[in-house]
Structure 1
Amino acid sequence: MERRLTAILAADVVGYSRLMGIDEAGTLTTLKDVRTGFIDGKIAEHQGRVVKLTGDGILAEFPSVVNAVACAVELQRGIRDRNADVRQDRRIQFRIGVNLGDVIVEGDDIYGDGVNVAARLEGVAKPGGIAISHSVRDQVGNRLDLVFEDMGEQKLKNIERPIRVYNVSVEQVTARNSKSGAPAPEERPSIAVLPFNNMSGDPEQEYFSDGITEDIITDLSKVSGLSVVARHTAFTYKNRPVNVQEVGRELGVAYVLEGSVRKAGARVRVTGQLINSKNGNHVWADRFDRELTDIFAIQDEITHAIVEQLKVKLHPQERKSIAQAPTDNIEAYTYYLKGRDFLNRRSKRYLQLARQMFAKAVELDPMYARAYAGMADCDSYLYMTYHEKVVIGEVLATAEKALSLDRNLAEAHASRGVALSAGQRYEEAKNEFKKALALDPDSYEAHYFYARSNFAQGNVDRAAALFERAAEIRPGDYQVPCLLVSIYKSLGRPQDAKNAARKGVELAERELTLYPEDSRPAQIGSGALLALGEKDRAREWTARALAIDPDDLVAQYNAACTYSSLRDVDAALDLLEQCLPKLGHEKVQWAKYDSDFDPVRNHPRYQRLFERIDQG
């Protein structure tokens, strides 16, 4: 039995029996025209799929919650416009319900609680309106310029537990788009949270200030009355001198929050200041000198201070959601943040360190879902890339533990997708990645690992698109642009390859300055240098990587890529024969589509190597 998490849209015609009684043939013809001429196209436009049609109803599913709600709004607005010249008693109107839930898949059909809740939500929606569940409201956050009305918890027919329901306003938010003379709903205050400065005097503490910034962005994004700039956009200002008024103009926000973090032993000092970007005036500022164990309380106080200063209404469920800390153990939280920092560097040494950090976080808090997901990621990557002795069943169990603690945690679904990819269960992995992206369309991990999975299967176009999105989400990451260089070359996109190379070299140089002991920036940055025609520097970076990690198999693989591109055939094949049989399945598959090996692909030694590997 296949199950998956999906966004479900259920729609039903208002007063269908009455319309059929007035004009059966006309109603059927009009309904068919609306479906084929408008509704089907809108659903497809938002990457949805019509699951089935009933006499007066539609059931559709979407890989993204945001797409499902956006589609519902466009449907209701479009149908309203189509009805403008139709007599009131002859108008085709729909009620729509949208839910995010677990469904059972049987052929092309889906059923289960997720579908049942969507259908019941549709039943409580207003004519021409949209009702959504709390899980949908949480995931949409501020990604759509919409107004949500909290209707409280409601007991829906044949649904065991009460469901918190929100009505979605289908009116245009901005006055300039309003066709009527009625006043538009009040515009939400907009805010950007800039990366908090690390004032600890230790660059190794950067992970902590970044973690606090991300948590504040996440908490503010849960407030329906605020429009919050996404994390990946805000972090483009990291390590840059900024003028708040310029930031406001560039991002189109009315307010900017900036601050700093100083962590020393068991104490922490956090400062924050909320600034009006129009005039540069301080709206609010405070300093918090506390025990480190109070860090979640500080984040909570900053969020509430902003909400209060901007006179935003905070709904009870939003207040409860903001108050939910990822863990009650600050030491576990610190280990988790450190583990995530190590994981992002990807070299074997740092992956092993990251695994230790996540394991320590779990030891301190056995209910810490994100730490289990981190452990699973490390194990999968070590298995796929470095051929470490890891039991895939155990990795899947770790990811499943994370999901058992938080079924709606995008990181955990992405982790399970990576583990399934490691076991070459690609179709199941695809479903997990889709679940992760439905829950969090801005998940770097889901995009990055889904891209690698696609490339390993030879889906190069899809891999490129996913890597491109990952680069947008984490613009400071040097690895994705460097990986995109060879992918663009494979796709015959030389200018894109050069652009990616410039970006990758710039970011890799910065990483080498910060972490000179890490060979990975030099490993994959050398390929970017080659794309720019800088052959001598590419050789220097390759030599540096091998000097730092002479026994690292991936360092040897990347050096082989460089030598192949330099037409140093024997050096390339010597390294490839040395490392590739010991590397994991993903790396072997990657090599098959890696454009860096085009100069040696027809060499007898290269072909014999892959014959031996394929024969086991």
Structure 2
Amino acid sequence: MKRKLAAVLAADMAGYSRLMETDEEGTLARLRSHRIELIDPVIAKNQGNIIKTTGDGMLVEFQSVCDAVRCASEIQFRMRRRNSDVAPDRRIQFRIGINLGDIIFDDDDIYGDGVNIAARLEQLAEVGGICVSQAVRDQVAERLDVTFEDLGERTLKNIARPVRVWQVVANEETRPAGGTAERQSVVKPAIAVLPFANMSGDAEQEYFVDGLTEDIITELSRRHELFVISRNSTFVYKGQAANLRDVAEKLGAQYLVEGSVRKSGDRLRVTVQLIDTANDTHIWAEKYDRTLDDVFAIQDEVTGAIVATLPGRVEAAQQDLVVRKTPSSLAAYECVLAAKVRHHRSAHEENLEAQRLIERAITLDPDYAHAHAWRGCILGQAWVHGWLEDPDASYDVAVGELEKARALDDNDADVHRILAAMAVIADDLTRARYHQERALALNPNYDLVVVQQGELLTWLGRPQEGIEWIRKAMRLNPHHPERFWSHLGKAQFAARLYKDAIESFMHVTSMDAVQHAFVAANYSWLGDKMAAAAHLDRAIRLNPDFTIETFLGTMHYAEEGDLQHLRDGLAKAQEAAAA
């Protein structure tokens, strides 16, 4: 046996028995997910040593008491973020106790009053809270950005002397201990959805109309690049005729969404418009005519279409404002917006400017999760195109940025969408599936997430399903980027739908070498040697370093048959070109 002074963290899951009784498999799966993705990595990052685990708890030893408090603070902060979209009765939450004391180490286990006090402190903590002893508080009070509340002296079970207990003060804005005390807030565009008007004269439709409005508010709130005014604030204006500029000023929103629902016979018409109150302009409007076969299905369809389209329209309007500003005046959100514009142009110089803008956004707000996520995406684009002097190091930086974004906000669908894309680049399709499913769960109406589901299914050898998802993304966002047609064409090629694939690629205004290569393979399988040779020649003209094997090396098919299918199509085109 040996003794040493150490910090001990005791953690226990609240309501474990109740959750296990309700859903044993689901609870264990979610607990395992939290351990793998959050708890164990945070402990390792803070130099903690997991001594033992039970079904619902663990005991961890730290050489530094500051590391122990940082670790506990980050776990509880990120668990609050993770639980924000989870029903209260299904949330996994922890109590944590931390003590600094003399510990006995024996046979890979620890004993003594120092351990017992940590366990008793954990029992005193609130659900999602942290309690520490006087010794811990004295050590970290002046060294970490954390606030304590004195709970007084407590008599703990099997502990001879009273122990003074302190509680870490937590609220919705509490950040992990050790972080900056203040941060520059990100000024996101604020949008308010006013209650839709029931124009049917049918009181029974009121439930549908209110439900549609509430669903739109809920789904828009999933988009972390927007600030969405709450339902309680907007429903104050239900049934009122009010000046929109006054409403926007009172709600603090630049953009307003208003609409109406009209029932006529067996048909329902929903109209919606997006208004920029800064200059009283209508920047988007749409109407949806549907039969009343299933009112709830209509509600889901219309909600999905609206929330997939609105953020893009808001972003486009914001981009117009950004263009008129000098880069030095851009704030964090606007820097991210400008960086996205550069990124989507897919050119080397534009990518360099996107990197500069996104780095400025992070400098302005180091805790802006969306900025870290997009830095990872922008670096990933440079990695794919070979625009980096040190590809391996830059890839690691990109992944590190995404993990940073995930640590700051694990409920941002964009973070998991980009992590899935990076996993595909690394040919880790298992990890890609996890992050893609998480992104879909967080925001099932986000067109970029939906189209990526189609891409991933194509790589996994399920192109028919991939086609359905890509077409769904196109329906969700009628203003979708041109590249959606390219994704559809690749899926149709894998499904052996060659004529459909060629037609999809023809929607792309200016095809790149990759797209010309796919069109060449399609024409090869249709037996049109002249067209196949012409498109392969065009691919080589656009990329003089093009070779079939180098090109195939950029593919991520899980099935060797799918890769061979593309190889054979390109080989036929090459033979035709040489003839």
TM-score, normalization: structure 1? 0.48
Aligned to 2:464: 498
- 1:334 shift after superposition: 11
Q: Distance in 1 between matches of 2:516 and 2:318?
A: 23
Q: Deviations over 1:373-419 (max 9, x none)?
A: 1222233343xxx4343463x43331122123333322222232233
| Cα distance, 1:460–1:34 mapped onto 2, change above 3 Å | closer
Letter in 2 for 1:600: L
For the aligned residue pairs, the C-alpha RMSD in angstroms reads 6.2
Residue 44 in 1 paired to residue 35 in 2?
Answer: yes
Alignment partner for residue 243 of structure 2, among 289, 295, 300? 289
Q: Cα–Cα, structure 1 residues 527 and 602, in superposed 2: closer, same or farther, change >3 Å?
A: closer
SS of corresponding position for 1:445: helix
CA drift at 1:605:
5.7
Q: Cα gap change, 1:462/1:535 in structure 2, threshold over 3 Å: closer, same or farther?
A: same
Structure 2 CA distance for partners of 1:402 and 1:366, relative to 1, 3 Å = same
1:289 is displaced (CA, Å) by 1.8
2:120 counterpart (92, 98, 119):
92
Aligned to 1:47, what secondary structure does the other structure show? Answer: helix
How far 1:489 moved relative to its partner? 4.5
Structure 1 residue matching 2:170: 3-state secondary structure: strand
- Distance (Å, rounded) in 1 between the aligned partners of 2:93 and 2:411: 22
1:469-480 to structure 2, matched below 5 A, reads 469-480=438-449
CA contact (8 A) 2:332 2:364 kept: yes
Map Cα deviations across residues 461-508 of structure 1 (whole Å, 9 max, x no partner): 22333333334444345554444445334445x3xx533422322432
**For residue 483 of structure 2, what is the amino acid of its counterpart?**
R
1:593 aligns with one of 553, 556, 563: 556
Q: CA deviation at 1:122?
A: 6.3
CA contact (8 A) 2:332 2:365 kept: yes
Give 1:522's match in structure 2, choosing from 467, 472, 485: 485
**Which of 363, 368, 381 is the equivalent residue of 1:404?**
363
- Structure 2 residue 342 is matched with structure 1 residue 389: no
Corresponding residue for 1:117?
144
In structure 1, which of residues 122, 126, 132 is the aligned counterpart of residue 170 of structure 2? 132
**Worse-matched range after superposition: 561-570 or 430-439:** 561-570
The 5-angstrom pairing of residues 527-606 of structure 1 reads 527-529=490-492, 534-543=497-506, 545-546=507-508, 549-552=509-512, 555-556=515-516, 559=519, 570=532, 573-574=536-537, 576-580=539-543, 591-594=554-557, 597-601=563-567
- Partner Cα separation in structure 2 for residue 64 and residue 89 of structure 1: 20
Identity of aligned residues (%): 16
* Residue 372 of structure 1, CA deviation: 0.8
Query: Unpaired segments of 5 or more residues in structure 1?
Result: 1-23, 80-87, 100-112, 140-155, 164-209, 218-241, 260-270, 304-328, 346-350, 609-616
Kept in 2, the 8 Å contact 1:274–1:282? The answer is yes
Aligned residue runs from structure 1 range 216-255, under 5 A: 245=207
Select the residue among 333, 337, 358 that pairs with 1:374.
337
For residues 160 and 490 of structure 1, the distance between their equivalents in structure 2, rounded to whole angstroms, comes to 42
CA distance in 2, matches of 1:355, 1:302: 11
Whether the 8 Å contact between 1:275 and 1:282 is mirrored in structure 2 is yes
1:33 positional shift: 9.5
Structure of higher CA gyration radius? 2
Write the letter of the residue equivalent to 2:170. I
Secondary structure of 1:117 counterpart: coil
TM-score, with normalisation over the residues of structure 2?
0.50
Other-structure match for 2:214? 256
CA distance in 2, matches of 1:466, 1:581: 35
Residue deviations 1:158-198 (CA, integer Å, cap 9, x gap): 999699xxxxxxxxxxxxxxxxxxxxxxxxxxxxxxxxxxx
Distance 1:399 1:245, change over 3 A: same
The residue type paired with residue 38 of structure 2 is: Q
Equivalent position of 2:408 in the other structure: 439
Cα distance in 2 between the residues matched to 1:499 and 1:463: 17
Of 67, 85, 94, 1:75 maps to 94
Residue 243 to residue 282, structure 1, CA distance change in 2 (3 Å): farther
What count of residue pairs does the alignment treat as equivalent?
400
SS at match of 1:76: strand
> Which one of 298, 304, 307 corresponds to residue 251 of structure 2?
298
Shift of 1:298: 3.3
Change (3 A) 1:397 1:602: same
Change (3 A) 1:535 1:592: closer
Change in Cα spacing, 1:55 to 1:588, as seen in structure 2 (3 Å) is same
Distance 1:506 1:454 in 2: 23
